[in-house]
Amino acid sequence: MDKMDISVVVPLFNEQESLPELCSRIANVMDCEGLSYEVLLVDDGSTDGSWECIKSIQTGNHNVHGIRFRRNYGKSAALYCGFERASGDIVVTMDADLQDSPEEIPDMRRMILEEGYDLVSGWKRHRKDNALTKNLPSKLYNATARRITGIKLHDMNCGLKAYRKDVVKSIEVYGEMHRYIPYLAKNAGFTHIGEKPVHHEKRKYGKSKFGMERFINGFLDLQSLWFLSTFGKKPMHFFGYSGLLMFLVGFVMTVWIIAAKLVHQAQGLKFRAVTDQPLFYLALLAVVLGVMLFLAGLLGEMISRSAPERNHYNIKEEI
């Protein structure tokens, strides 16, 4: 098989109007640069004429390939299938709505080949979206993501990204984790992550497929990803420590309540029965929760040690 310079993976859902212009612009850029390329259009269950449009484009440009889902699975599923089939040395992802500019691809490729980046993420420094519903929530979301992941990107969720082929072949994108591909790459050992300011254009056709709920879902997904990457193979370190701490707190409270009651009783002072004190029940609750957390950690450890990928590691090179 001939060597392929670039694979462009484009997930799409109901983007019939924008596809001809997008593919034409990609072809012009690649031809001007003299690069061999393929465009993988992943139709995520579109209900308009997107698939017919893809077939029409492919007839005139055999570098274009289409993948069609039977129903809408989401952007992560589309990217996963695109990554699986990509054969280029550099893999580029971009949205199909023409808000990402194909003219940015050559510079992003150069940053990987000449500056040694594993992944280059676009940064929409000057966004054309609504400031209240998109810009402000996006800034808060990205600030939180930088804090938790330790990756200093201004726009973690920008659809325009370029990767070394090894990166996309070493990560698994699922659920809604497409927002955190740089974090997935970092956890896989690809730590040389760069950023490039890119031109952001207004949407020309259709409407956005994402609402405000994506920021809430994104935050929850980030917490899940952080927990799995930190404690996924050692759940006892989280649940065990938490359970022991809570058990000790409840145990100390219980002993203190009983001891205080016995001291008052021995000195002939007025005292309350242990079972009449709300603190006693809080102490019992802490003990019970502590035991349950410890058992959860133990079960998690047993499941983790039985998982088939427990000894799966990414090897960079071997002599």
Task: Report the C-alpha gap between 302 and 235 in whole angstroms.
Answer: 9
Number of structural domains in the chain? 2
Distance of CA 108 to the CA centre of its chain: 21
Q: Tell me, yes or no, whether 299 and 185 share the same domain.
A: no
Q: Tell me, yes or no, whether 166 and 282 share the same domain.
A: no
Write out the two tokens for 9.
């993976």
Find the length of the chain.
319
CATH number of the domain that residue 220 is part of: 3.90.550.10
Q: Tell me, yes or no, whether 262 and 114 share the same domain.
A: no
pLDDT at position 196 is 94
Q: What angle do CA 31, 34, 38 make, to 5 degrees?
A: 65
Q: Tell me, yes or no, whether 111 and 207 share the same domain.
A: yes
- Is residue 313 assigned to a domain? no
Closest CA relative to residue 121, chosen from 81, 157, 165, 83: 157
Write out the two tokens for 3.
């060597």
pLDDT at position 58 is 93
What's the mean pLDDT when you consider all of the chain?
85
Render pLDDT for 14-34 as a digit per residue (tens, 0 to 9): 999 999 999 999 999 999 999
pTM of the predicted model over 0.75: no
- Is residue 317 assigned to a domain? no
* Residue bearing tokens 């300011």: 197
Closest CA relative to residue 58, chosen from 78, 38, 79: 38
Q: Tell me, yes or no, whether 271 and 202 share the same domain.
A: no
Q: Which domain holds residue 242?
A: 235-306
Read off φ and ψ for residue 43, nearest 5 degrees: -85, 110
Read off φ and ψ for residue 38, nearest 5 degrees: -140, 145
Residue 281: which residues within 8 A CB-CB, separation 6 or more? Answer: none
Q: Of 196, 215, 230, which closes a domain? A: 230
Residue 34: which residues within 8 A CB-CB, separation 6 or more? Answer: none
H runs (alpha helix) in 66-161: 75-85, 105-115, 136-149
- Is residue 318 assigned to a domain? no
pLDDT at position 277 is 84
From residue 172, give the alpha-carbon distance in Å to each of 180, 184, 302. 11, 8, 23
Q: Tell me, yes or no, whether 74 and 104 share the same domain.
A: yes
Q: Are 117 and 192 in contact (CB under 8 A)?
A: yes
Q: Are 22 and 40 in contact (CB under 8 A)?
A: no
Per-residue pLDDT of the chain (319 residues; tens, 9 = 90+): 567 899 999 999 999 999 999 999 999 999 999 999 999 999 999 998 899 999 999 998 999 999 999 999 989 999 999 999 999 999 999 999 898 999 999 999 999 999 999 999 999 887 766 555 566 777 787 888 888 888 888 888 888 999 999 999 999 888 788 888 998 899 888 999 999 999 888 777 766 655 556 667 766 777 776 776 777 677 888 888 889 999 999 999 988 888 888 888 888 778 778 778 888 889 999 999 999 988 888 887 777 667 666 555 566 666 6
